[in-house]
Structures are given as C-alpha cells and as structure tokens.
Amino acid sequence: MTRIALVTGGMGGLGEAICIKLAALDYKVVTTYSPGNTKAADWRANMREMGFDFYCYPCDVGDFDSAQQCVTAVEKDIGPIDILINNAGITRDMTFRKMDKLNWDEVMRTNLDSLFNMCKPVCDGMVERGWGRIINISSVNAQKGAFGQVNYSAAKAGMHGFTKALALEVARKGVTVNTISPGYIGTKMVKAIPSDVLETKILPQIPMGRLGKPEEVAGLIAYLSSDEAAFLTGANIAINGGQHMS
C-alpha cells in the first residue's frame, strides 16, 4: 500500500529535500504553498523535469479554515493522509525591545498555531486506521534560545510541548508524534548569510565545522515516517552537528 505524505511548506529549502526523499521511497507526496505564491507552478514543473510529480495545494497553515479546506481537498483527490510533516515556518527577527504584537502574532500563527490547524483534520483518521506519523520541524534555537528570536524560539519550543502531549493521547492507536530540531542547514536562506558572519559567528559554534545538508535531515524524517519507527514517539531529535547537546 502506498502511503500518502503531506509536507507543509515543501517548495524550496528543507521542505523540498523532504518531498524528494519521500517520493524516492515511493510515497505519494503532497505539499502546500502559500496562497498567492506565483512561483508554485514553475516549481512543480521543475520537479517534474527531475522525475518527481508532486501534488500541490494552496494553504495558509496559520488559518484553521484554510487548513481544513486543504486537507479535505487532498483526501477527496488523492486519499487519506498517513504522514503529516509540519515544516512550514517563518521568522520575524528583532530584539524583544523592538518587537511589536504583529510580529509576535505572525510567528506564533504560522509556526505554532499551524500544528493545531493541520493536525486537527488528519489525526482522527490516523487513529481510526491504526497507523499514522506526525513529524514537527522545530529548531536548535528552541532548545538553546537565540538573540533576536524571542518569538521564533518560543513558537518552536511550544512545538515540542504539543508533540509530547499529543503523542501520549494517540500512542496506543499506532500513531507516532515526534519533533526534530535541526541546526544550521545549508539551504538558500542560510547560505545567503554574509560569508564573514557564517565563518566567524556560526560555523565556530558547530563542532562538526560545517552546515548540515537538507538531505541529512530528510533522511531522518524518512526514518520517522517508516514502519521501523513505530516504537519511537514523543521524542525531540536534535540534528545540529553537535551545536547543542541535551
């Protein structure tokens, strides 16, 4: 039986690597993109040229109704969602002194409220079928904090509280819920950091002395999505090159 995986925010960066990895393992892969994203069709066409035919749906993950409509459409068109990977996220970095309510709310809405919005319409179906995987993408900065990221660190830390509580509720039903906390990964966004900052401020914090690869994180997610990971739930797995050990 072919499993159906839904990856939020899968167009580009880590999300794209996750989609490619799962597709290569013969999952049916669905990804969401922000409504109004004018590059979505081009991205899908590029992926097709690479041999990956992804299903793509618009969804504002921070809006409950939009998430409900997205899941309903996916289940009608493709089938029930077996694996949910909550990857979509944003940053609005500034010191707390300068942070306003709008920039707090936007990060909380997209990074934390989205877990409720996306899990709510899929979790009951997973429980009824006796199999499911929910994987929440947090951050090393949720574990150790980061200057200028009070909003982001709080939202990403809240993810794991959500993970642990939901994992307890569905553990007997064959559904696992886990968090992963990546460090600095070599996505376009991270590589856009000025080279002097990368070389003097970031890489010295990483014992391995390099950025992580999106494919390395995608490999971990592939394992957590598998049957072999059935006894692993409620965990927060750090994948950060040794930058933060807990």
Q: What is the band of 188 on the pLDDT scale with cuts at 50, 70, 90?
A: confident
How far is the first Cα of the chain from the last one, in angstroms, to the nearest whole number?
A: 38
Q: In the structure, what pLDDT confidence band is assigned to residue 153 with cuts at 50, 70 and 90?
A: very high
pLDDT on residue 187 = 87
Q: How many Å apart are CA 156 and CA 146, to the nearest integer?
A: 12
**If pLDDT is split at 50, 70 and 90, which confidence band does 135 have?**
very high
Give the domains, in start order, of the chain with CATH numbers: 4-238 (3.40.50.720)
Mean pLDDT for all residues in the chain:
95
- List of E strands, 4-161: 4-7, 28-33, 55-58, 83-86, 132-137
Residue 36 clears pLDDT 90, i.e. is over it: no
Task: Report the share of the chain in percent with pLDDT over 70.
Answer: 100
Element (H, E) at 224: helix 214-224
Q: What's the half-sphere exposure (Cβ side, CA atoms, 13 Å) at 112?
A: 18
What confidence tens digit (pLDDT) does each residue in 200-225 have?
989 999 999 999 999 999 999 999 99
Report d(CA 209, CA 23) in Å as an integer: 30
Q: pLDDT confidence of 43, banded at 50, 70, 90?
A: very high
Q: Which two tokens stand for residue 105?
A: 């709310």
Q: So what's the pLDDT on residue 45?
A: 94
Catalytic residues: 152
Q: Which of 192, 122, 134 is nearest to 164 (CA)?
A: 134
Distant-in-sequence, close-in-space partners of 87: CB < 8 Å, separation ≥ 6: 7, 8, 9, 10, 14, 15, 18, 137
